[in-house]
Amino acid sequence: MDHFLYHNGVLHAEDVPLSEIAEAVGTPFYCYSTATLTRHFRLFDEALAGMDHLVCYAMKAASNQAILKTLAALGAGMDVVSGGEYARAKAAGVPGERIVFSGVGKTRDEMRQALIGGIRQFNVESEPEMVALNAVALELGVRAPITIRVNPDVDAKTHAKIATGKSENKFGIPIARAREVYAQAAALPGLEVIGIDVHIGSQLTELAPFRLAYEKVAELTQVLRADGHDIRRLDLGGGLGIPYTRSNEAPPLPTEYGALIREVLGHLGCEIEIEPGRLIAGNAGILVARVIYVKSGEGRDFLILDAAMNDLIRPAMYDAHHDIVPLVEAAPGVEQQPYDVVGPVCESGDTFAKGRMLPPLAEGDLVAFRSAGAYGAVMSSEYNTRPLVPEVLVHGRDFAVIRSRPTFDEMINRDTIPEWL
Ligand code: LLP
């Protein structure tokens, strides 16, 4: 459930008509709902109630400071994957002890930054990374708390570009070699081995792959404890999928996911961490765009919008589906017609949808892409020198611009001219 609903025929974000924001901010823009972010975070938090746990929001999904502050105020930890994300989490007031550092290619500078600024744990993904982190920690005279990410060789049954738990993927160490790698880690004085980490992919729409992976983690916990490791924390990654269409089957709910965790891992007495991103932010955000032209092509009509692939890359990159709805609700009984929905960027990949059934639309009309809150604004670029789309956060009847649209001069002035020119 989200808070983007029609009232009196106009799509609202909570209590604000989106047309009002469009007028104030211009299009395109991203808009997030505080109530939806809050609701989604709480669903996870409550699903793990009674277990020692921390929900670490995977901020790669949407990392605006205002979004981070909203979640941090609810008690969220953060899962970061770069020095930039670490700095963003700290700037939003998240204490180091609530930040976990994931990622397959952490640099020594990033390790230093997190060890100095404070860190809950590093999720280490390889032996060379272990060696580097050990060296950095010793140099600073500290011990780095770590889990090791294991690759359970489980098929997440999701899009190939976002599956991470198969042996052919670059992530984690093969679970079959875990005992050997944990023994190596335990011998490094700059590291403190505290747990196990696993993440098998994103947009999972079934619980079965989670169950398979978590059963392997449960077994490994016992084996590693028998080897003498003090395994006391399990980081179970993110990945729970969201409904991208109103009609399709609903993916499992956080409550069902929480029940699975309790069932498979609850008896181990470990602290549980999860790293959801998409489910918290995805349906808490939309992208609003305006129709520039309706162009009649050979046997098809193109709806040319002022948003493009640089603003929302998911359809071009993953063939992702985003529901598109008019801001002004069509009158009952109006017949829908097929449109190819495209942006102004100069390549055919700049296509959001083909043959999408929509009520008749005209120049100047406003539309919204639903489910665009996760991996939307964060993956945008200035391709074609198109300014990054502003972000707006709604809270009841209030709204605020939380990232403004850069001017052309601001974009151009980031370039510098060498002295020979
Ligand atoms: N933890 C780790 C280690 C991850 O790699 C990811 C996502 C998450 C947590 C959060 O997963 P989520 O709960 O959001 O599924 N750009 C793609 C998604 C990439 C996901 C990358 N890793 C998309 O637009 O679909």
- Tell me the domain boundaries of the chain: 4-31+282-412, 103-274
What is this structure's pTM? 0.97
Contact between 27 and 45 (Cβ < 8 Å): no
CA distance 75 to 326: 36
State the distance from the centre of ligand 1 to the C-alpha of 100, rounded, in angstroms.
Answer: 15
State the distance from the centre of ligand 1 to the C-alpha of 24, rounded, in angstroms.
Answer: 33
* CA distances (Å), origin 315, targets 201, 303, 376: 18, 16, 10
State the distance from the centre of ligand 1 to the C-alpha of 14, rounded, in angstroms.
Answer: 27
The DSSP secondary structure of 361-420, one letter per residue, reads --TT-EEEESS-SSSSGGG---GGGPPPPPEEEEETTEEEEEEPPPPHHHHHTTS---TT
Token reading at 18: 């989106």
Token reading at 413: 């002035």
Residue 1's pLDDT is 66
Catalytic residues: 346
Binding site listing? 239, 275-278, 314, 318, 347, 375
Ligand 1: atom nearest CA of 237 is 1
Token reading at 37: 């972010």
Going by CATH, does the domain composed of 103-274 fall within 3.20.20.10? yes
Token reading at 275: 């790293």
CA distance 349 to 346: 9
Orientation of helix 108-117 relative to helix 127-140, angle to 10°:
50
Residues with CB under 6 A from ligand 1: 58, 61, 79, 102, 162, 199, 202-203, 237-239, 275-279, 314, 318, 374-375
Architecture per CATH, domain 4-31+282-412, reads as: Beta Barrel (2.40)
**421 residues of the chain, pLDDT tens digit each:** 689 999 999 999 999 999 999 999 999 999 999 999 999 999 999 999 999 999 999 999 999 999 999 999 999 999 999 999 999 999 999 999 999 999 999 999 999 999 999 999 999 999 999 999 999 999 999 999 999 999 999 998 888 888 788 777 889 999 999 999 999 999 999 999 999 999 999 999 999 999 999 999 999 999 999 999 999 999 999 999 999 987 666 899 999 999 999 999 999 999 999 999 999 999 999 999 999 999 998 888 999 999 999 999 999 999 999 999 999 999 999 999 999 999 999 999 999 999 999 999 999 999 999 999 999 999 999 999 999 999 999 999 999 999 999 999 999 999 999 999 9
Q: Closest residue (by CA) to atom 8 of ligand 1?
A: 238
Contact between 26 and 391 (Cβ < 8 Å): no
CA distance 151 to 126: 11
